[in-house]
Amino acid sequence: MSKLCLFLVLTWPLLAFSYEIDNFTLRYKELPNALSIIDKEVNERLDRAAKEHSKETQGCNQSTIISFVNSEFQGLIIGAIESWVTNNPNIKKHDINLDKSVYKSRSMKDKLQGGVLSSFGLNSTINLNGFYVGVDKLGHFFDQGYAQYSIAHLEGKGVEAALKRGVSQEETYLGWSTTGIKSYGDLAANYSGMTFWSNLTGGKKPIFTCKNNQWEKVRDFSFADYVDSSWDEAINCSVYKTDSLNEVIQKNLTALENQSPDKKFLCPVDSLACQNFQKKYPQDILPFIISPQCLVKNDIPLEAASCKSKLNERLVSEKFTRFCETIIEKLK
């Protein structure tokens, strides 16, 4: 058996995590807001975790309540909330066939290199508090967010180590190696999820506090506190493994703009949102979760030279550094 075949056999269950979406083609077709429906399900699971914890354990051990909460959200392959939303007919979604999406007309080489994209197709998009995001982002939020929280806090390696792990995954089996796409929307959702897990028992407004030697849920969760346009891959632009894949996607996006001249399809579709990332996220976090294409667009105050230096300092990927240098060259 070849090394490639062996890799696919051993990792195929994990590759389901590497779903991709088309956040462009149908983005101007309105969807109802699914926030309240999803928030309700999340809070029911948090309530259940607190109830089960109080039945089975005594005391306010932080790792124990987090373990109970994680058991409500983890899935065998696909995250529990991601799967629940996917199968919920009351949540309206955008679904598009691969051959009608921005990925149509890929070369055979790109199809083979992006085997998961070719095999699994595209994930759905939902309206989450006014932001159009892939359902896969819910899995990234809870599952990858938990993994990064564990690295940063439970293992004590720090936030930067956790973020680097996320980048490494997007540049291998959760991105470039399986779909040909490195998704900054995924990385942003991971970071938001890591923040959620930190906020369960910590921060200024924790969800659980210790009362009478037991963890008690003191406030409701809402995705409104976490989701923003950084999860939207039409704004927080992805990076493609090959020039040929990038060229096909840019060609298809240009065709969409030609069909609807009053609408923006080329990424980023909203430069103002890109500017807002600068205000919201710490400067040392930005290079890990926001595409440089978004950061350097339209004179956003992250200088091109800073982009290059941050990438060289924090992200060891040679391919990504070359991508950043290409953008810098275009700005000259």
pLDDT at 107 over 70: no
Question: How sure is the predictor about 17, in pLDDT bands with cuts at 50, 70 and 90?
Answer: very low
Chain-centroid distance of CA 310 in Å reads 21
* pLDDT (0 to 100) of residue 9: 39
pLDDT score, position 295: 85
Position 73, amino acid: F
Q: Percentages helix, strand, coil for the chain, rounded to the nearest 5? A: 55, 5, 35
- What integer is the mean pLDDT of 220-235? 97
Confidence (pLDDT) at 13? 39
Model pLDDT for residues 195-219, shown as the tens digit of each residue: 999 999 998 899 999 998 999 999 9
CA-angle at 78, arms to 141 and 146, nearest 5°: 35
Strands (E), the chain: 125-128, 131-134, 181-182, 208-211, 214-217, 239-240
Tell me the percentage of the chain whose pLDDT exceeds 90: 57
Give the range among 13-17, 25-29, 39-43 with minimum mean pLDDT.
13-17
How far is Cα 69 from Cα 272, in angstroms, rounded to an integer?
36
For the ranges 3-12, 64-73, 125-134, 220-229, the lowest mean pLDDT is seen at 3-12
For the chain, helix (H) and strand (E) counts, in that order, are 16, 6
Q: What is the pLDDT of residue 301?
A: 42
Domain boundaries of the chain, sorted by first residue: 11-224
**What are the backbone angles phi and psi of residue 183, rounded to the nearest 5°?**
-100, 115
Per-residue confidence at 221, pLDDT binned at 50, 70, 90?
Answer: very high
Q: What is the pLDDT of residue 241?
A: 80
Two tokens, residue 112? 């083979």
> For residue 132, what pLDDT is reported?
97
Q: pLDDT tens digits for 253-311? A: 999 999 999 999 999 999 999 999 988 999 999 999 999 888 875 444 444 444 444 44
Residue with tokens 């983890």: 74
Average pLDDT value over all residues in the chain: 82
Q: How far apart are CA 239 and CA 267, in angstroms?
A: 11
The pLDDT of residue 3 is above 50? no
| Mean per-residue pLDDT, 313-319 | 44
Cα–Cα distance, 135 to 142 (Å, whole number) = 12
The SS3 call for residue 22 is coil
Query: What pLDDT shows up at residue 117?
Result: 43
Which residues, listed in sequence order, are joined to residue 182 by a DSSP beta bridge?
239
Q: Would you state the pLDDT for residue 105?
A: 65
Amino acid at 279: K
